[in-house]
Structure formats: structure tokens, C-alpha cells
């Protein structure tokens, strides 16, 4: 009978050990679940609103709507007028509303639509954009070369 009591104490210690570490493991799993559920570790939440396309074609303002429509206001800092001819994104399929001509030091809006997109109001989104443009030259018979400008904007969906 003496042997049996010693085994019970050893068994009790093992059970207490497993229960203690089991509770710790459960708390860790619940914490990880809450972090994932509330999207706390999403880095885009901590990025401020920004619009980076360089200084020559300066991004003044941007807006992204729930239905996928976005508008970017550009200021032309080139000495000549520019003609925005095409846009593309590596993130989303986009359709833009035609060419936009911007005179020097003028501000114009480029309007595009992200195809089949539905965003949640209040969430932040990042869109990488490539814009093709040429510089306007009056009186030249040769077509001006097409340039590409790559940029990104991060904004809150309205």
C-alpha cells in the first residue's frame, strides 16, 4: 500500500503540470485568435494616407470609393502640357475614363474604376499605379514619346 500512495502523488504532479501548461496554451491560442480576428497586425492600418508619384506630376489629392471608383488630382510641374493616355495597376484591373490633358501648373483629376471591386468604408487600401503620358508639343508632326510614371497611393475608403 505504501507504493500505491507514492504513485498517486506522482500522478497528481503530472496532472497538475499538464493542466497548468494546458491553461497557458489555451490563453496563448485565444490571444492569437483575437489578434487575427481584430486584424491588429495588418501593417496597412499604420501607414498614413499618402500619394507618391514624384514632383513632376505631383499628386495633390486622392479619393477611393466603396464601389471601386478612385480619383486622383494631379498638378503638372512640367514646363509643357502633359497628356495622360493610359493607366494600369499591378494590384487590380482598372478602367480609366479616357485621356486627360494637364497644362503647366494646372490641376486636373484622373478618374478610374477598379473592375468588380467592392471595398468596405473606413478600411485603408493601397493601390500601385502606372500612368502613361506624353508631353504635349504644338506644331510637331512626329508623335511625342510615351513616358511611364509609377506611383502608389494609400487612402481610406469613403
Q: Show me where the domains of the chain are located.
A: 2-41, 46-156
Q: 153, 127 in Cβ contact below 8 A? A: yes
Residues 6+ positions from 95 with CB-CB distance below 8 Å? 112, 113, 115
In 3D, which of 145, 74, 140 has the Cα closest to residue 103? 74
- CATH fold, domain 46-156, is Immunoglobulin-like (2.60.40)
How is the chain classified by DSSP, letter by letter? Answer: -HHHHHHHHHHHHHHHHHHHHHHHHHHHHHHHHHHHHTTTT-GGGGSPPEEES-STEEEEEEEE-TTSEEEEEEEE-SSS-EEEEEEE-SSS-EEE-S-EEE-TT-EEEEEEEETT----TT-EEEEEEEEEEEE--TT-SSPPPPEEEEEEEEEEB-
Name the band, by pLDDT with cuts 50, 70 and 90, for residue 3: low
| pTM greater than 0.75 (yes/no) | no
Residue 147 β-bridge partners: 133
Q: Which has the higher per-residue pLDDT, 142 or 68?
A: 68
Cell numbers placing 23:
491553461
- pLDDT (0 to 100) of residue 2: 52
Query: Average pLDDT, stretch 83-96?
Result: 90
Q: Which has the higher per-residue pLDDT, 71 or 6?
A: 71
Query: Average pLDDT, stretch 42-64?
Result: 89
Name the band, by pLDDT with cuts 50, 70 and 90, for residue 1: very low
- pLDDT (0 to 100) of residue 5: 57
Q: Could you tell me the end-to-end alpha-carbon distance of the chain, in angstroms, rounded to an integer?
A: 76
Amino acid at each position: 500500500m505504501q507504493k500505491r500512495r507514492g504513485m498517486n502523488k506522482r500522478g497528481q504532479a503530472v496532472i497538475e503540470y499538464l493542466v497548468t501548461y494546458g491553461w497557458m496554451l489555451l490563453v496563448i491560442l485565444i490571444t492569437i485568435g483575437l489578434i487575427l480576428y481584430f486584424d491588429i497586425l495588418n501593417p496597412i492600418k499604420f501607414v498614413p494616407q499618402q500619394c507618391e508619384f514624384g514632383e513632376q506630376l505631383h499628386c495633390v489629392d486622392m479619393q477611393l470609393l466603396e464601389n471601386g471608383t478612385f480619383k486622383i488630382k494631379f498638378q503638372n510641374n512640367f514646363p509643357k502640357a502633359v497628356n495622360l493616355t493610359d493607366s494600369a495597376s499591378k494590384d487590380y484591373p482598372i478602367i480609366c475614363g479616357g485621356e486627360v490633358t494637364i497644362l503647366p501648373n494646372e490641376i486636373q483629376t484622373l478618374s478610374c474604376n477598379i473592375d468588380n471591386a467592392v471595398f468596405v468604408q473606413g478600411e485603408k487600401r493601397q493601390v500601385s499605379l502606372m500612368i502613361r503620358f506624353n508631353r504635349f508639343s504644338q506644331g510637331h508632326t512626329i508623335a511625342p514619346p510615351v513616358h511611364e510614371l509609377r506611383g502608389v497611393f494609400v487612402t481610406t475608403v469613403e
